[in-house]
Every structure is written in C-alpha cells, then in structure tokens.
Amino acid sequence: MSSASLLEHDVSLRPYNTFGIDVKARLFARFRNVDELRALLALPEVQQADKLVLGGGSNLLFTQDFNGVVLKNEIAGLEIIDQEEDTDTALVRAGAGESWHGMVQYALQQNLSGIENLSLIPGTVGAAPLQNIGAYGAELQDTFDHLEALEISTGRLRTFTREECGFGYRESVFKGPLKNQFIVTSVVLRLQRQHRLNISYGALRTTLADMGIEADPTPQDVSEAVIRIRRSKLPDPAQIGNAGSFFKNPEISQHRFDELKAQYPALPGYPVPGGVKVPAAWLIEQCGWKGRRFGPHGVHENQALVLVNHGGAQGANIRDLAHEIIASVREKFGVELHPEVNIM
C-alpha cells in the first residue's frame, strides 16, 4: 500500500477525542512505525498542511473542524532493554502509540516500580512527556530516562535526555520552544527493581488503609489504590465525554497565599519551590461551579476540575465555559487559572 493511499479525507474525529466532540479532519492517516511516518511526511499534501499528531485524544478540546492533516500515532511495543538482573533499576522502552496505563501494567507485571502512582491516566505513552504527566505525588520526570522523536522538517530521529526535555509542571520543551517540530516515537523509563514506594499523598494512605493494607504495600497495591481514587473522582470518558482535569493547579507566592488564607481559612495549599500550589478544584467549587449543567455540557458533579460533554455539546461551548470559570476565579480570588487541556 502506498503512503498516499493511507490518507483519508473528511474523517470524523469524534472516536479519537475523549470529549467526544464531532468535528472533521480534512486529511487523516495512521502510522505504526517510523518508516510509515517518514513516508507520510514526504507527501506534498502532508508537507503543505497544518499537522496535528494524535495519541489517545485525552487532552484535547476541538472547537472546529481541523483543516489540515491529523496523524494518528499507533507505534506499538513494550520491552525491557537492559537485561542486567543484578542492578537496582531496569530500562523499559515503549512505543509512543501504546496506552500509558498499558505501560504501567506492563511495569507491574515485570515487578518494576516507579510509575504505579500514575495508574489509569488516559492517553498514550508519546503524549506523557509532552506535558510531564503527574498524579498523587509523582511525575513522569521522576522515572524518565530518554525519548526518541522524529524531526518533522528533516525526517531525522533525535534522542532527548531528561535535561533536554525541559520538564516543568505539566510542561516540556515540546509545549514551548520545540512545539510542533517533533513527533515522539518511543519513550524509555528507568524503573526500580528495589521498590521505594511513594505513599506520601494523604488520599493514598487512607485508601490503602480502607483496602486493609496498613504496612508494606506492594507497587500493585499502590496502583490499585490510585485506580480506586481516580474512579471515585473522575468520570469514565466512555460514559461521559471529558478530558480529565481541565485546569492546572495554580502556583502563587507565599505572601499571596497568606493573604488569601487570612480571608479564606479553609484554603488548602502545598509548598512548592518559590511558593504554594493551590488546588484549582477548591477555587472553582468556592465559585459555585461544581455540578452545574448548561444543556449538553457542564461541570462534573463530583469533581469541579472536570468539564463534561453530556452528549451533543460543541467544543466552543466547553471552551466558553472554561473562560467563564477562569474569570470568576480571577474575580473572587485574584488567582489566574490556566487550562491543562489543549484547546484546538
């Protein structure tokens, strides 16, 4: 099959985004390896078009049809690439098209730890480093070793170390200076054979206790606790359209936090370098948004961070709701929220 015949025209993207927004891509193609990707990028109609690389579509909000080419990353593969059993760590490589939770499960099956706190995060492995995914006291950068990415303009593969990825809070160089210049093809993590589990997050300890595990949890136990917490808080996109947490947790100065704490004694906060991280969900809930519904879209009843498509919503509806929430939090608290979801 020629690379040109891999291109489809006017394809609905509804099955490929977890919000379930029904927009169309003018051109659409899948690639399962680097050679297929290079062949697609060599096509004149692809070279001339705006490009969007799609993984699980779990961090996207489409507000209109995409008048370019959508490239669906389906590069598979999970393997341990160093075989030295006597070392404390192991390098695990995953194709960028693998599901992230599938990689977590693979690691647990190999009795490797380090990413169990990131269980059940939707999306693909290739998307994980773009925004340095994190949850329950852990971030991707904690275990990241390197990735390979293909440069769109040249077709060359390049290796990026952790330092070169410029990780920050839900940030990387691929969302900044190198945005839209590279397509991630594989990710390598350094995982632990000797387990040092992170159960500092309060809800994790509580859930483990509810599971009857008071001491010496295994990585599998921590994963199961995280899955229970996520399922209790976050709606399943298969039941109701959503992209998980829509907003980042804002970071403010200690001085500003002290001012707000004096005014709102119940305000939670967590120390971070240079200030305090405040839960966006708490701020949004105080502004009265939790559980509000506006026809086919709204804010989830159990989690104020999650905007939802009850069915038939337009992406623009959800985008406008997000802007209203941002404005109300700014007005009440003087704190600026920023979307975690990419709005197209």
Catalytic residue check, 156: no
Catalytic residue check, 205: no
Closest CA to 76 of 97, 107, 53: 97
Catalytic residue check, 3: no
- Active-site choice (36, 98, 224, 340): 340
**What single string gives the DSSP state of each residue in 272-334?**
ETTEEE--HHHHHHHTT-TT-EETTEEE-SS-TT-EEE-SS--HHHHHHHHHHHHHHHHHHHS
Query: Helix (H, G, I), strand (E, B), or coil: what is residue 211?
Result: coil
Closest CA to 336 of 253, 268, 255, 258: 253
Burial readout 111-141 (b: 16 or more C-beta within 10 A, e: otherwise) = ebbbbbbbbbbbbbbbbbbbbbbbbbebbbb
What type of residue is 226?
V
- Active-site choice (93, 170, 190, 319): 170
- Active-site choice (119, 186, 245, 319): 245
Supply the residues annotated as catalytic: 170, 245, 340
